[in-house]
Amino acid sequence: MGQGGCQGKAIPGAFHRNPCDKPFPSRIVAPIRAVVTVFGVRFEMMKFLVLNGPNLNMLGLREPSIYGHATYADLEARCHAAAGLLGVSVEVRQSNHEGVLIDWIQAARGTVSGIVLNPGAYTHTSIAIRDAISASEVPTIELHLSNVFAREPFRHHSTISPVALGVMCGFGIDGYQWALTALHAKIVHA
Ligand code: DQA
């Protein structure tokens, strides 16, 4: 494990305050680094996870007037391009199953520096995903392609927002790049 810029500030068991006044356990704020080997040379990079929930695999086909014409492959490519610019590693995953998303969030505990999560329709119903984020203690940005607040009233409520670091919505796949950038900045400057 390499020594990240924030690790020196971490006090085990203590909580840091960020500008949003949202406390994080300092152990989790410390950037967790993945080892990447390129042509035999080892690099240590901060590792992020992008998780997408139900129906996001249908991107490009599904209601393009709401979600745009970009495909799921475009979304993945955008995340990898953003990670390249930030000098971090990213894994992009999608599942239509709540339990699978929960397993991934739990497994992120202590192994991933931050999560960008588009929970799809589970945003509006899933207490279990919210609890998984709390339990994992991994800084998580909630993201939506569409501006959920300009849509049906049932999309205005999120079970996830209260445990999220922040919320990004309404910017299509561009939002993923900005959410990764915001997550990176938040962790580096914590
Ligand atoms: C969504 C918004 C949700 O309300 C919806 O159920 C989705 C996608 C979005 O990205 O805009 O599946 O999360």
| 26-57 tens-digit pLDDT | 344 556 677 767 777 766 689 999 999 999 99
**Domains in the chain and their CATH numbers?**
45-188 (3.40.50.9100)
Q: Could you identify the atom of ligand 1 that is nearest to the CA of residue 146?
A: 11
Phi then psi for residue 117, to 5 deg, are -125, 120
CA of 83 to the centre of ligand 1 (A): 23
Does the pTM exceed 0.85? no
Residue 38: the pLDDT is: 72
Question: Any idea what DSSP says for residue 109?
Answer: T
Question: Is a pLDDT exceeding 80 seen at residue 86?
Answer: yes
| pLDDT of res. 75 | 98
- Ligand 1 lined by 144 (C-beta under 6 Å): yes
CB 31 within 8 A of CB 5: yes
Task: Look up residue 183 and give its DSSP letter.
Answer: H
| 118 C-beta closer than 6 A to ligand 1 | yes
- Active-site residue, 144 included: yes
Beta carbon of 114 within 6 Å of any ligand 1 atom = no
pLDDT class of 167 with cuts at 50, 70, 90: very high
Known catalytic membership, residue 176: no
How many angstroms is it from 123 CA to the middle of ligand 1?
8
What is the 128 CA–ligand 1 centroid distance (Å)? 17
Q: What is the DSSP letter of 8?
A: G
Separation CA 180–CA 48 (nearest Å):
8
pLDDT computed for residue 189 by the predictor? 86
Question: Whose Cα sits closest to atom 6 in ligand 1?
Answer: 121
